[in-house]
Amino acid sequence: MLHLPVAGPASRILAYVIDYLVIVLLELAIFFLLFVILSSTTSLLESLRGPVAEAIQEVDTADPDSFFLSALFWLAFVVFLLVQLAAEWSYFVLFEMSSGGRSLGKLVAGLRVVRDGGLPISFRASAVRNLLRIVDYLPTSYLVGLTSIVVSPEGKRLGDLAAGTLVVRLDRPAPAPPLLEEEDESAADFRFDRAQIARIGRKERALIRQTLRRIDSLSDERRGAALARAVEVLCTKIEHEPVDAQRRADFLRALLRASSKGRS
């Protein structure tokens, strides 16, 4: 089973704060553009004023000017909400699809959105999880979403539950230990001639390094199988006699050391 490091509330809040600041700047740019457009179309609003006033007089005795201004205010409020929702949804979907599940905030916080099981996020999953931000935001300040993250064992908000997604940490692995710090006496009795060393190239050295670095984290059964496969490939490559199962790791260390010296 694949175990993924689930992102906690603190890192996700940090990521959203950064994203929110970017979204605010984006929205300000959009509203400024809308203001410029509306300022150039004042004649259109004035042309609508007359027909609206006549329609109001037919059904009500209220002040047409006051009603027109009120309707204009509510129209502006609806437009404000729609722009805000569209900007936030588009921002997250665009970044998640173009950067492998990482918005700017998640990039800074070291997070990534993936599908359950660790698969890359799809457009459908991104669209669903970000559309449901409307619900996660209720009643205010993402209270529903934060509660869901804390309660869920996988740290999922409602949008993640519906989309089948997960926010994970991109932890940096510990640096790999050096493989050739000092002479290994247990590998000293393996000898290779120049022809054998000449057959060890970049791919073979990579195979040796990867195998030696993996074996300490594997079970005994898988460790033996990994060593057997690597040693078999390398023995065939350099035409070396079979190596005893107990000496396979020593053989790899000796071959790596010999090939490294041969390159220097």
Q: Which of 42-46, 52-56, 90-94, 260-264 has the lowest mean pLDDT?
A: 52-56
Whether 120 and 208 share a structural domain: no
Backbone φ and ψ for 139, nearest 5 degrees, come out as -75, -20
The pLDDT value given to residue 263 = 57
pLDDT class of 39 with cuts at 50, 70, 90: confident
User: In this predicted model, what pLDDT tens digit does every residue of 149-174 receive, in sequence order?
Assistant: 989 888 899 999 999 999 999 876 55
CA within 13 Å, CB half, 61: 0
Whether 125 and 89 share a structural domain: yes
Q: How far apart are CA 155 and CA 12, in angstroms?
A: 10
Whether 44 and 127 share a structural domain: yes
Decide which of 110 and 139 is more confident.
110
Whether 101 and 135 share a structural domain: yes
Residue 178 lies in a domain: no
Q: What residues contact residue 99 under an 8 Å CB cut-off, 6+ apart?
A: 107
> Among residues 145, 169, 193, which one ends one of the domains?
169
Whether 151 and 196 share a structural domain: no
Whether 34 and 118 share a structural domain: yes
Whether 221 and 159 share a structural domain: no
> Among residues 101, 134, 169, which one ends one of the domains?
169
> Among residues 169, 194, 227, which one ends one of the domains?
169
Whether 17 and 102 share a structural domain: yes
What is the residue range of 197's domain?
A: 185-263
Whether 97 and 153 share a structural domain: yes
Number of domains comprising the chain: 2
Beta strands in the chain (DSSP E): 111-115, 165-169
Q: How many CB atoms lie within 10 A of CB 258?
A: 18
The pLDDT value given to residue 57 = 55
Whether 40 and 153 share a structural domain: yes
Q: How far is CA 197 from CA 3, 184, 203, 238, 254, in A?
A: 39, 18, 13, 8, 11
The pLDDT value given to residue 1 = 40
pLDDT above 60: residue 64 = no
Whether 16 and 45 share a structural domain: yes
pLDDT above 90: residue 48 = no
Whether 137 and 193 share a structural domain: no
- The secondary structure of 138-185 as a DSSP string is TTTTTHHHHHHHHHSTT---HHHHHHTEEEEE-PPPPPPPPS-SS--G
Which tokens is 184 given? Answer: 């290994």
